[in-house]
Chains A and B, each alone.
Chain A
Amino acid sequence: MLSLHHHHLPSTTNAKPQFPQTTTNLRHSTTFPKTLAPKLKPKPYITKSLLQWNRKPQLSGETPRVVVVTSGKGGVGKTTTTANIGLSLARLGFSVVAIDADVGLRNLDLLLGLENRVNYTVVEVLNGDCRLDQALVRDKRWSNFELLCISKPRSKLPIGFGGKALTWLVEALKARADGSGTGAVSPDFILIDCPAGIDAGFITAITPANEAVLITTPDITALRDADRVTGLLECDGIRDIKMIVNRVRTDMIKGEDMMSVLDVQEMLGLPLLGVIPEDSEVIRSTNRGYPLVLNKPPTLAGLAFEQAAWRLVEQDSMQAVMVEEEPKRGFFSFFGG
């Protein structure tokens, strides 16, 4: 869950990182000096920031970043990831609009605890029953986070302009800062929570996206679907695809009952955005309608989501993963304690 970079590696991916040697430092790739000037002498490795949250992340890429959170298989944590990364981004100071593109089975409002405030959806906007700004639900906890639902559970989106409607929405959100006078700004991030499957809902959700976050769990069913979805995304022209491996249990990995994160990466060949450990607090926070990243004190999964959000901002990927829990070394360890 940490990003480890070498200061003077020519590329972070074309060579095996010499880790965990003493020359390895925790810093971010955006600080690499990209110059063709010959280096006179090798500089010592400098740790710019030991931990990623010691500074505000630098937003890279063209805004608004339109990111679709998808998986193929259901129940792997797309909506949980959207909610937590969205609120993490808001906490980091970025303006975020989360779109629940699950037409029939929306849940993002529940996870965010905003279910009672969704009066209008995109369907009403399209029909002219309300304006777009009236359909956006602003979170009271973090006012730079807004939720937009595609439809109410029983209403149906017209088949003809599912994808087009999302593209219009993104364009309208981009243009929001142009003199609307309401203090609304163009969002930095538009997160689209994609429905499961590769049906019309999936096609609708990925239409306006420039990049994708693929959620998977370390089991073969989710991996097969993830591979297929990755193929479809690549065919559709979305090249910036990173994955989050969810519900990882280090104890099972140690007992070789679960694929490790590196095994998953070897099978899918995608850069890692985050590794989320299995955490009972996820279910608790889901039921409370209070995203995990707002828990105090933070939980393991919440910290992992924060780190993933951090990397998303900087278009970074993980260079080191947590593999197993080290045995505690205490006074009683001699006795097996």
Chain B
Amino acid sequence: MASIWTVEFRSLSVRPYSSIPTTTTNHRIRITNGISKSLVIRTHQFKQHCFTSIAKWNHQLVTSTPMQHLLLNRNPGTNFAIWVCVAVVVVVFVAAVKGFSRKKERPGSVADLVRRGQLRSDRRGISRPLKYEDPFNNPMVKVSKSNSSVEMCGKVYRLAPVTLTQEEQAVHQRRRSRAYEWKRPTIFLKEGDSVPPDVDPDTIRWIPANHPFATTAMDIDEDFAQRNVNQKHGVPFRIQAEHEALQKKLEALQNEENLNKLVIDPTNVKEIERPFNSNTRLNDHAEKTSLNDQAKEPSSPILDSGPNHFESAPSPGESKP
């Protein structure tokens, strides 16, 4: 199929400004698509015609009126065509920009995945809770009018009735009670342990010595454990016990340190040399404590034991019962 594009520059209707006497020429541009038999002749004619047309066109442009006059005095049909062209160009440009921006988000970005349906925008992360708006109104399930089928999630399923009867259930229970005679183990013993005298041997569960349960040492007795489970308020037992133990330890340490300071430590000579200053410090502290707690007598043993002593300022919560 010999298809050629024949381009003919015929004329372009340009109307010169009326006050300027110029020769009126007609220029048209016509584009036709067709099959030509006399290809060579027409091509030659076309070439010649093109040259002449373009030459005339250039001449016209050079010698004719300025463009503003030309634009102002076009006929309305041409004006409309130009605007249509401009609109088409704008639309093409916008489409190209959109396509470019889509291309930018195409290679695997999250927005692209969401757009393509690979990733749901409302499932990204678990920070935002997903909740049904109404759990009691689910439109995903529809039962047919005859109750013989149900549609769930777009699929239709046939329904069949359950035929299990009470008698059949009882038969199965009897069968199982015969097949599986079982007593709940009440005591767990490691393999190798001796059986306690008052224990039914059927209720013993023998556990291998390397079983995770068997290798666990029980360092807390049952009463304590049960009390811990039932504790609703306050500091947990272990934490409190550790805290108290730490306090005692600290107390003992501080006592020892004070003793060492007083008796052994020869480096505290400066403090010994300046008893006046230290006494004033201690007296200041004693005044503060007496201000805080008026009930205390000023000649309390705090002065003797120093400010870092554990018993210097006992908080109400730390008082032991």
Interface residues of A (CB under 8 A from B): 1-2, 4, 11, 13-17, 19-20, 22, 24-26, 50-51, 53-56, 91-92, 103-104, 113, 125-134, 140-141, 156-162, 164-165, 168-169, 171-172, 175-176, 180, 200, 203, 227-228, 230-232, 234-236, 250, 262, 265-266, 268-272, 288-290, 294-300, 303, 306, 317-326, 328
Give me 8 other A-B pairs in contact (C-beta within 8 A), A128-B236, A157-B216, A306-B135 excluded: A13-B166, A16-B163, A132-B232, A133-B232, A161-B222, A235-B184, A272-B164, A324-B157
**Complex Cα spacing A128 to B180, Å:** 39
Whether, in the assembled complex, B228 has its beta carbon less than 8 Å from a beta carbon of chain A, the answer is: yes
Residues of A within 8 A of B147 (CB): 4, 19-20, 24-26, 320
Among A128, A234, A321, point to the contact of B159 (Cβ < 8 A).
A321
Q: Tell me if B158 and A268 are in contact (CB < 8 A).
A: no
Taking residues whose C-beta sits less than 8 angstroms from the other chain, chain B's interface range is 35 or more
Residues of A within 8 A of B126 (CB): 113, 288-290
Among B153, B163, B229, point to the contact of A303 (Cβ < 8 A).
B153
Residue among A55, A103, A172 facing the most chain B CB atoms (10 A cut-off) = A172
Residues of A within 8 A of B18 (CB): none
Among A113, A159, A176, point to the contact of B218 (Cβ < 8 A).
A159
B5-40 at interface with A (beta carbon < 8 Å)? none
Residues of B within 8 A of A156 (CB): 212-213, 215-216
Q: Tell me if B220 and A268 are in contact (CB < 8 A).
A: no
Knowing A234-B177, A235-B183, the reply to whether A203 touches B205 (Cβ < 8 A) is yes
Kindly specify which of B47-55, B138-146, B261-269, B291-299 makes contact with the partner chain: B138-146
Closest approach, in angstroms, between the C-beta of B163 and any C-beta of chain A? Answer: 5
Closest approach, in angstroms, between the C-beta of B128 and any C-beta of chain A? Answer: 10
Q: Tell me if A323 and B157 are in contact (CB < 8 A).
A: yes
Kindly specify which of B65-73, B81-89, B168-176, B305-313 makes contact with the partner chain: B168-176
Sample of 25 A–B contacts (CB below 8 Å): A51-B141, A53-B135, A128-B220, A128-B236, A129-B238, A130-B239, A131-B228, A131-B231, A132-B231, A140-B129, A141-B131, A157-B213, A161-B225, A235-B183, A262-B160, A262-B162, A269-B171, A269-B172, A298-B132, A298-B138, A303-B141, A306-B138, A320-B160, A322-B157, A326-B158
Q: Tell me if A14 and B165 are in contact (CB < 8 A).
A: yes
Q: Tell me if B164 and A13 are in contact (CB < 8 A).
A: yes
Q: Tell me if B138 and A15 are in contact (CB < 8 A).
A: no
**Complex Cα spacing A126 to B129, Å:** 33
**Complex Cα spacing A72 to B7, Å:** 86
Q: Tell me if B159 and A236 are in contact (CB < 8 A).
A: no
- Closest A residue to B228 by beta carbon equals A128
**Complex Cα spacing A25 to B129, Å:** 36
**Complex Cα spacing A19 to B126, Å:** 44
Q: Tell me if A53 and B150 are in contact (CB < 8 A).
A: no
Q: Tell me if B229 and A272 are in contact (CB < 8 A).
A: no
Q: Tell me if B229 and A172 are in contact (CB < 8 A).
A: yes
Whether, in the assembled complex, B182 has its beta carbon less than 8 Å from a beta carbon of chain A, the answer is: yes
**Complex Cα spacing A51 to B152, Å:** 12
Residues of A within 8 A of B232 (CB): 131-133, 176, 180
Q: Tell me if A50 and B143 are in contact (CB < 8 A).
A: yes
Interface residues of B (CB under 8 A from A): 122-123, 126, 129-132, 135-138, 140-141, 143, 146-150, 152-153, 155-169, 171-173, 176-177, 179-185, 188, 205, 207, 211-218, 220, 222, 224-226, 228-234, 236-239, 241
Q: Tell me if A231 and B236 are in contact (CB < 8 A).
A: no
**In the complex, the 3 A-B pairs of residues with the closest C-beta atoms, listed nearest first:** A269-B172, A231-B180, A128-B237
- Closest A residue to B211 by beta carbon equals A200
Q: Tell me if B184 and A236 are in contact (CB < 8 A).
A: yes
Among A141, A294, A319, point to the contact of B161 (Cβ < 8 A).
A319
- Closest B residue to A160 by beta carbon equals B218
Q: Tell me if B130 and A296 are in contact (CB < 8 A).
A: yes
Q: Tell me if B143 and A162 are in contact (CB < 8 A).
A: no
**Complex Cα spacing A17 to B217, Å:** 56
Among B156, B159, B166, B188, point to the contact of A320 (Cβ < 8 A).
B159
Q: Tell me if A17 and B135 are in contact (CB < 8 A).
A: no
**Complex Cα spacing A112 to B252, Å:** 48
Q: Tell me if B205 and A250 are in contact (CB < 8 A).
A: no
Closest approach, in angstroms, between the C-beta of B127 and any C-beta of chain A? Answer: 9
- Closest B residue to A204 by beta carbon equals B213
Residue among A128, A164, A234, A270 facing the most chain B CB atoms (10 A cut-off) = A128
Closest approach, in angstroms, between the C-beta of B7 and any C-beta of chain A? Answer: 50
Closest approach, in angstroms, between the C-beta of A90 and any C-beta of chain B? Answer: 10
